[in-house]
Amino acid sequence: MNKQEQKEFFQQIIEQHKGILFKVARVYCHDEHDRDDLMQEMMIQIWQSVPRYKEQFKISTWLYRISLNVAISFYRKNTTRANRFTVLNEQTSDLYKEEKVETEQQLDLLEQFISELRELDKALILMYLEDKSHHEMAEILGLSVSNIGTKIGRIKDKLKTKFSQ
């Protein structure tokens, strides 16, 4: 691909798939300015990766993989251990306010559960909630399909245990 083709390809994929970038940025950054910085970092990495894109991969899978890698690195670099989970806690709270969850106690328990997940598991939950197939999640995260199923099962089991206590 020459430079002009790379530029056109980049513009096309960003326009068609910017929702992926926004979703990932929203999960990993609470602050609007941090989200903007993360979006910029993701776009820079995508631009730098365009020459290495292989048509055998789905564009959305390729973008997810890049954006999640950048987001996790950004997240680790720009947060302290004490405030790492604020974003997910607030987003979970917003989601459940819309859904009118029956008890505040259940919401607190869910937020606590999500806050205890590792970054990889948070990415997995994000894709699971977006109804991604196990195969798509495996491609994006670089894991086997069976490993994805196992991880999702374990997360569900942990969640059931938390809510039954």
For residue 118, what is the enclosing H or E element?
none
Fill in the DSSP letter of residue 163: H
30-80 tens-digit pLDDT: 788 888 999 999 999 999 999 999 888 889 889 988 998 898 888 888 765
Q: Cα dist. 79→100, 113, 148 in Å?
A: 30, 19, 27
The mean pLDDT of the chain is: 81
CA distance 136 to 127: 9
Q: Are 68 and 24 in contact (CB under 8 A)?
A: yes
Secondary-structure class of domain 1-79 per CATH? mainly alpha
* Whole-number pLDDT of residue 87: 53
- The one-letter amino acid at 115: S
Residue spans of the domains in the chain: they are 1-79
Percent with pLDDT over 70 in the chain: 80
Q: Are 19 and 67 in contact (CB under 8 A)?
A: no
CA distance 107 to 133: 27
